[in-house]
Amino acid sequence: MQLGVCYYPEQWPRSMWVDDAKRMAELGITHVRIAEFAWSRMEPRAGEFVWEWLDEAIETLAAAGLKLVLGTPTASPPKWLVDAHPEVLPVRADGVRWNFGSRRHYDISSEIYRRECVRFVTAMAARYGSNPSIVAWQTDNELGCHDTVPSYSPAALKRFHAWLQLRYESVNALNEAWGNVFWSMEYSSFDAIGLPNLTPTDANPIHLVDFRRFMSDEVASFHREQIEVLRRHAPNADLLHNFMGFFTTFDHYRFAEDNAIDVAAWDSYPIARTESIPLPEEQKARYARTAHPDVSAFDHDRYRSIGRGRFWVMEQQAGPVNWASWNPVPAKGMVRLWAYEAFAHGAELVSYFRWRQCPFAQEQMHSGLNLPNNELSPGGLEVQQAAREIAATASLSGLGEPTRAATAIVFDYETQWMFEIQRHGKTFDYQMLVFDYYEALRELGLDVDIVSSKADLSSYRLVVVPSIAVIDETLVGQIERSSAQWVFGPRSGSKTTAFAIPSSLPPGALQNVLPMQVLEVETLRPTLTPQLTFGDQQGHATHWREHVRANGDTRVDAQFDDAWPAVLSHGTVRYVAAWLSHGLHRAVLEQAAKEAGIETQLLADGLRVRRRGDLTFAFNFGVLQVQAPAPVNATFVLGQRQLATGDVCAWKGAQTD
Ligand code: GAL
């Protein structure tokens, strides 16, 4: 378990650096990330590099025994660059160009900007690539943050044309695949195609899907241009990017392909995230100071697979932040708890944002480990406590491998895009559907891997696919060869890759293993709640329901009160024909886990467990004091069985009673 911090030497007088470095090391911090927003100080005028301040900052930190993570500063191009090339500023969907004066003000498709980035990163990597104190490099910062992935610029249009040409080869093939005969949308050349903005009503959904696929590839290729430079100059460093929580604008699996990263790092702001995702108001209120118990775990489990087992938390919330609708102070213990939670899920490093609260500019209301007057903040004191505990406890400092879960959830980025483009009902949100299933599995005490449908799923005993828009032959092949229990949710197999309804009706190719058809679908306003019973549980459908027909020897395991099938199964494969109320999702999963031979245990409200190596951790996010589900004679290496709000404990032995 290693702790890190984000530090901005350029924001503080040099006279503070030595003391800062010393205090970081004393606190138990081992890694420091620097430089990711400092372009204007490294190159104040075009071609005029000023490295000496950065040399000194690196030397000072390294002299205190700290390891460095160096960020490339391409998330904030300096004013001289924007003045020389105003066309690097991105264009919004309404056709207006963004201004200079904050950050992420660049068009990812701008060939001029890409050239500038490669030029700058080459100079930076040539200077620092072989420095042994720099153990990792981060490209850019939070690609896509502030909704900056799509740019509706001439530069984006030009590259979109080339992308389409590569994908479809001929414009007739594109017209056919897109169904452009509809509303006379046919094109006579690739050059005639526009971007899917500023249309009086909906653009063709496949036009939108392809634009999102294109932009996703743009993000990956922008990052790869820097990786190529960094691999050459810093062959021994870990290369990474800091991703975001609940962020789906680009396909992270594709981004990480072909060793484009060594570690998946992500930025965890649990309270702000709980406030900003569409959770029921009652949950936001209940977890306002602890964050929802699954909100960080969900992304820990997702990024662990994106990093092929290796993940870091590059920025961890250490107190109140500045960017959500409301920004409360975390409950006592949470800053410490979130670190252990990340480690339990397999993190190698948890790095806090930021060393000291900055008293000026945009983030002055954002906490750090130190108050602006340099006193340790309440969060800083909790980090100190965690660091001391880890140092004093051998089984914490040398944690075993992350446990490979028996249960997988498939998460698919394209499905998110497709169902965002065609919600069909105001409240349908694919990622929240996945989250609902994830929460149910975690309430049952299970460890979960969140994986791509293209991953090798053969080692899992239970595979949950809350939904997947396109079901291809490869996935059907995986199901046919597998002995796992499978659960598919609504809208699965409802589209082809060209965003059309499959000719055999949904769920498309899933019918090879589960004979059934979806005849009609409906979205449900909050007052429409079709009722059903599953086993001894009563509940209802919400957001989305399907009218389906069971074919052949497919079984109907539950039906709605109006007699339409709700849960169907064929062998080891189940289909849930609606977004069910939460308790029913849990009941379906509990039954599938049982049939998969996986033991479940319903945990107390707000309690979660996670296994790593020979340790089991328990965390209390709830308002009441609870008991950790440890065996009677468990040996606790951290904390104790009784857990107040914000408490954590860990014991040896992965077994629960
Ligand atoms: C992140 C970003 C940081 C800082 C932080 C504040 O999104 O990477 O630079 O702005 O949020 O919470």
Average pLDDT over the chain reads 97
Which one of the listed residues 36, 116, 142, 439 is annotated catalytic?
A: 142
At 378, list the tokens. Answer: 């309440």
pLDDT at 14: 98
Give the span between the Cα atoms of 319 and 297, in whole angstroms: 18
Give the span between the Cα atoms of 88 and 230, in whole angstroms: 23
For the stretch 498-515, pLDDT in tens is: 999 999 999 999 999 999
pLDDT at 656: 46
Q: Is 544 exposed, middle or buried (0-12, 13-18, 19+ CB in 10 A)?
A: buried
Pocket test for ligand 1, best of 142, 354, 362 (most atoms within 8 A of CB): 142
At 498, list the tokens. Answer: 């060209």
Q: Is the pLDDT reported for residue 348 higher than 50? A: yes
Residue 640 neighbours by CB distance under 10 Å: 12
Q: Is residue 511 part of a domain?
A: yes
At 625, list the tokens. Answer: 């004091």
For the stretch 35-49, pLDDT in tens is: 999 999 999 999 999
pLDDT band at 395 (very low <50, low <70, confident <90, very high): confident
pLDDT band at 655 (very low <50, low <70, confident <90, very high): low
User: Which atom of ligand 1 sits closest to the CA of residue 322?
Assistant: 12
User: Which atom of ligand 1 sits closest to the CA of residue 36?
Assistant: 9
Rounded to the nearest angstrom, the distance between the alpha carbon of 632 and the centre of ligand 1 is: 43
Rounded to the nearest angstrom, the distance between the alpha carbon of 352 and the centre of ligand 1 is: 11
Give the span between the Cα atoms of 28 and 397, in whole angstroms: 12
Q: Is residue 201 part of a domain?
A: no
Domain ends where: 357, 378, 397? Answer: 397
Domain ends where: 397, 424, 446? Answer: 397
| Mean pLDDT within 322-351 | 98
**Residue 632 CB partners (closer than 8 Å, separation 6+):** 657
Is residue 595 annotated as a catalytic residue, yes or no?
A: no
Q: 143-147 contacts: CB < 8 A, separation 24 or more? A: 143/108, 143/219, 143/222, 143/223, 143/241, 143/243, 143/250, 144/219, 144/244, 144/247, 144/249, 144/250, 145/75, 145/104, 145/244, 146/102, 146/103, 146/104, 147/249
Rounded to the nearest angstrom, the distance between the alpha carbon of 317 and the centre of ligand 1 is: 9
> Among candidates 175, 172, 248, which has minimal Cα distance to 213?
248
The 3-state DSSP composition of the chain as helix, strand, coil percent (nearest 5) reads 35, 20, 45
Rounded to the nearest angstrom, the distance between the alpha carbon of 141 and the centre of ligand 1 is: 9
Domain enclosing residue 473, as ranges: 407-595
Q: Is residue 565 part of a domain?
A: yes
Q: How far is CA 115 from CA 81, 85, 108, 382, 611, in A?
A: 12, 12, 11, 44, 46
* Protein residue closest via CA to atom 12 of ligand 1: 321
User: Quick one: 257 and 366 in the same domain?
Assistant: yes
Percentage of the chain exceeding pLDDT 70? 99
For the stretch 623-648, pLDDT in tens is: 999 999 999 999 999 999 999 999 99
Rounded to the nearest angstrom, the distance between the alpha carbon of 79 and the centre of ligand 1 is: 21
Q: Is residue 584 part of a domain?
A: yes
User: Quick one: 449 and 554 in the same domain?
Assistant: yes
Here the CATH number for the domain that contains residue 645 is 2.60.40.1180
Which one of the listed residues 315, 414, 443, 546 is annotated catalytic?
A: 315
Pocket test for ligand 1, best of 363, 367, 369 (most atoms within 8 A of CB): 363
Q: Is residue 564 part of a domain?
A: yes
CA-based angle 628:634:639, to the nearest 5? 55
Residue 46 neighbours by CB distance under 10 Å: 12
Rounded to the nearest angstrom, the distance between the alpha carbon of 380 and the centre of ligand 1 is: 18
User: Quick one: 342 and 483 in the same domain?
Assistant: no
* Protein residue closest via CA to atom 1 of ligand 1: 267
Look at the chain and report how many structural domains it folds into. 3
pLDDT at 657: 40
> For residues 472-509, b (16+ Cβ closer than 10 Å) or e, as one string?
eeebbebbeebebbbbbbbbbbbbbeebeebeebbbbb
User: Which atom of ligand 1 sits closest to the CA of residue 244?
Assistant: 7
pLDDT at 653: 72
CA-based angle 282:288:293, to the nearest 5? 85
The DSSP result for 27-71, as a single string, is HTEEEEEE-TT-HHHH-SBTTB---HHHHHHHHHHHHTT-EEEEE
**Residue 233 CB partners (closer than 8 Å, separation 6+):** 122, 125, 126, 129, 130
User: Which atom of ligand 1 sits closest to the CA of residue 317?
Assistant: 12
Q: How far is CA 109 from CA 20, 149, 361, in A?
A: 39, 9, 29
**Residue 24 CB partners (closer than 8 Å, separation 6+):** 5, 7, 32, 61, 64, 66, 355
Query: Helices 52-63 and 17-27 meet at what angle, rounded to 10?
Result: 30
**Residue 144 CB partners (closer than 8 Å, separation 6+):** 219, 244, 247, 249, 250
Pocket test for ligand 1, best of 315, 316, 357 (most atoms within 8 A of CB): 315
User: Quick one: 44 and 135 in the same domain?
Assistant: yes
At 53, list the tokens. Answer: 């301040």
Here the CATH number for the domain that contains residue 311 is 3.20.20.80
User: Quick one: 590 and 620 in the same domain?
Assistant: no
- Residues in contact with ligand 1 (CB, 6 Å cut-off): 141-142, 145, 267, 269, 315, 321, 323, 353, 363, 366
Q: Is residue 336 part of a domain?
A: yes
Here the CATH number for the domain that contains residue 424 is 3.40.50.880
Q: Is residue 474 part of a domain?
A: yes
Amino acid letter, residue 457: L
User: Quick one: 500 and 380 in the same domain?
Assistant: no
Q: Contact, 301 vs 350, CB < 8 A?
A: no
* Protein residue closest via CA to atom 10 of ligand 1: 363
Label the pairing between strands 238-244 and 578-580: unpaired
Q: Is residue 602 part of a domain?
A: no
**Residue 262 CB partners (closer than 8 Å, separation 6+):** 136, 238, 239, 240, 307, 310
DSSP single-letter state for residue 16:
G
Is residue 315 annotated as a catalytic residue, yes or no?
A: yes
Rounded to the nearest angstrom, the distance between the alpha carbon of 76 and the centre of ligand 1 is: 13
| Mean pLDDT within 217-232 | 98
Domain ends where: 369, 397, 425? Answer: 397
Pocket test for ligand 1, best of 140, 240, 267 (most atoms within 8 A of CB): 267
